Chain A
Amino acid sequence: MNPFAWSGGKFLLFYAVVAVAVIAFVAWRARGRSDSRVNVTFMTSDPYRIAYLRGDSAEVIRVSVFNLVDRGLIELREDGLLVTVRKDAESLVRRAIDRAVLAACFAGTAPEALVANEALLREARAYGRDLEREGLLPDAPTRRSRLAWLVGALAVLVGVAGVKAVVALAQGRTNLVFLAILTVIACLFAARASFRRLTATGKDMLDDLKVLTMRLLGRAGTLKPGGASNEALLLAATYGIWALPAGAFPFVETLYPRPRSDGGGDSGSSGSDSGDSSCGGGGGCGGCGSD
């Protein structure tokens, strides 16, 4: 039984099966094993880590801007520029990225410019290094390993298609368009599967954070602005700034309008999860025997 001798449709089916197996294998290798040594409090003690895990440097900057506006350290002027309101503002924050944002806003700057500010992006990337160290993001050896497996996978995908092409051409059959398309698609999927942004540990951590804060998201409508508690910041970091209720935090939409393509995956409207999830996450027993 020589699959390379099979006719067009039959071989394409065979190739599809091979491609799925190769892609699944590469995805499995890329994901790796979840290592549960990282505690959630490592993340919640600095919610900017969560923001980076969920969405990388630009997201850290957005959450930082939100935090500083909420705390009254920078304000959004009528001309659309963010301005640091206090000369001593930098002494009131402990995070380097916050100090950098405050410095960038001294002379007034547009919110979107902050997200593209190379110095701020560099500052935010420090979080990425922290997360790599903890195994939540792939580090350099992991990335090299993933690349090696991808190269192997591409070699198999292209190799199998290449052999069939040679056999077909030798038999005078030149209609290889479908095979070529399938090969390109398979290679693209293999590449996508290889370059998962998070490690298995990172994905589990983000999932755990979302599950554990689901009910907090459900009561986001009761949150008060002003930065007195860490709840708004934790929600902004975990679900995105657009998860916060517009009523209490009207400046969010003005600062960074919600992208139209946002399907609400990371940031849902407040209260959207309340009562919908099968995981209550802690509603209490409501009093023993009574009301």
Chain B
Amino acid sequence: MDRVGLGWRGELAASILERLDAIDVLEVIAEDWTRAPAREQRSLRALGRERPLLLHGVALGLASRHAVEDKRLAALARLFETAAPESWSEHLAFVRAGGHEIGHIAAPPRGPASIEGALRNLERARRIVGTTPALENIATLVAPPASPMDEGAWTRRIVEGAGAPMLLDLHNLYANALNAGIEPVALLDTMPLASVRLVHLSGGRWLRPPGLAPRLLDDHLHDVPDPVYTLLETLAARVPQPLTVILERDGEFPAMAHLVSQLVRAREALASGRRLARRAA
């Protein structure tokens, strides 16, 4: 069954707890909790008693030719054990290399080295944490050089090679497509859709540097744009498996009623897609 949920943000604790009727699942950011004492981590179990909990990592840098540090995987494993989430996810990204800390997720050169590195890291992650994470496509403002493969092919190789579920971030896909001048649906169709189990929805804003083409930035500070709901409908029409859709909002928080309205739209998009699929069958 399809589910629609929300990223847990402590700033919205009161509102989220009040409106759990509209929320099927909650997703927490792993790195918000990995350094917390065990007692605080255990509070996530209280949240997990309310709704299924999903853990979302943002700092491992799994998609890298370089090995993810054991201590990071160990910290995540401890959190996983303590918080007892339903599953976890991470990004198809690198975060550091050669002693340089980027400070956020970035697209690595998409080639054999990062694919092989990702598969090794995922196998280690599976061994240490206990399960394989769902893998999320990221948005990038610049196409990574030295990339013999396109994003879809590279993503497919890693997701299918690891036998991992995919977390398809539709706004990231939308932003990458627009920034590359291609149709979002065309990019969607290059992704391993049969592996998609989770979906992220978020918003962004246009950057308009003087003298240059505008670029869409995925900042999680804006509402989900209409075309992304359309992509969700398209996805729901294309795939038979249940989808868990998470709305991400990291700041500039609107009223809870407004966030709930976006959850409702997501449900409608899913339902519409499923209807389209039934009619086509």
A touches B (Cβ under 8 A):
yes
Give the interface of A toward B (CB within 8 A).
36, 39-41, 44, 204-205, 207-208, 211-216, 218-219, 229-231, 234-235, 277-291
Number of interface residues of B (CB under 8 A): 60
Q: Which residues of B contact A230 (CB under 8 A)?
A: 14-15, 18
20 A-B pairs besides A44-B18, A219-B11, A235-B14 with CB distance below 8 A are A36-B49, A211-B39, A211-B40, A213-B13, A214-B10, A215-B11, A278-B35, A279-B32, A279-B35, A279-B36, A279-B37, A282-B11, A282-B13, A284-B9, A285-B250, A288-B172, A288-B200, A289-B93, A290-B139, A290-B175
Closest B residue to A211 by CB, please name it.
Answer: B43
Cβ contact within 8 Å between A212 and B47: yes
Partner pick for A287 among B9, B35, B219, CB 8 A cutoff: B219
Cβ contact within 8 Å between B140 and A290: yes
For the complex of A and B, the 3 pairs showing the least CB-CB separation, nearest first, are A215-B10, A284-B250, A281-B10
Contacts known (A229-B14, A282-B11, A284-B248); A40 close to B46, Cβ less than 8 A: yes
B234 within 8 Å of A (CB atoms): no
B91 within 8 Å of A (CB atoms): yes
26 A–B contacts, CB within 8 A, in A order: A36-B45, A39-B46, A40-B50, A44-B14, A208-B46, A212-B13, A215-B9, A215-B11, A216-B11, A218-B10, A230-B14, A234-B13, A278-B36, A278-B37, A278-B40, A284-B250, A285-B105, A286-B58, A288-B138, A288-B202, A288-B218, A289-B104, A289-B141, A290-B104, A290-B141, A290-B217
Closest A residue to B251 by CB, please name it.
Answer: A284
Which residues between 82 and 126 of chain B lie within 8 Å of chain A, taking CB atoms? 91, 93, 104-107
Cβ contact within 8 Å between A218 and B40: no
Closest chain-A Cβ to B28's Cβ sits at a distance in Å of 6
Cβ contact within 8 Å between A290 and B204: yes
Q: Which residues of B contact A291 (CB under 8 A)?
A: 217-219
Closest chain-A Cβ to B246's Cβ sits at a distance in Å of 11
Which residues between 204 and 220 of chain B lie within 8 Å of chain A, taking CB atoms? 204, 217-220
Tally of A-B residue pairs with Cβ under 8 A? 164
Cβ contact within 8 Å between A289 and B140: yes
Closest chain-B Cβ to A245's Cβ sits at a distance in Å of 15
Closest chain-B Cβ to A90's Cβ sits at a distance in Å of 24
Closest chain-A Cβ to B180's Cβ sits at a distance in Å of 13
Task: Classify the secondary structure of B's interface with A.
Answer: mixed
Give the interface of B toward A (CB within 8 A).
7-15, 17-18, 20, 28-29, 31-33, 35-37, 39-43, 45-47, 49-50, 56, 58, 91, 93, 104-107, 136, 138-141, 169, 172, 175, 200, 202, 204, 217-221, 248-251, 255-256
How long is the Cα–Cα vector from A287 to B93 in the complex, in angstroms? 13
Cβ contact within 8 Å between A207 and B11: no
How long is the Cα–Cα vector from A41 to B217 in the complex, in angstroms? 36
Contacts known (A212-B10, A282-B7, A284-B220); A39 close to B50, Cβ less than 8 A: yes
How long is the Cα–Cα vector from A207 to B40 in the complex, in angstroms? 8
Closest chain-A Cβ to B68's Cβ sits at a distance in Å of 17
How long is the Cα–Cα vector from A271 to B36 in the complex, in angstroms? 18
Contacts known (A208-B43, A216-B10, A219-B11); A286 close to B37, Cβ less than 8 A: no
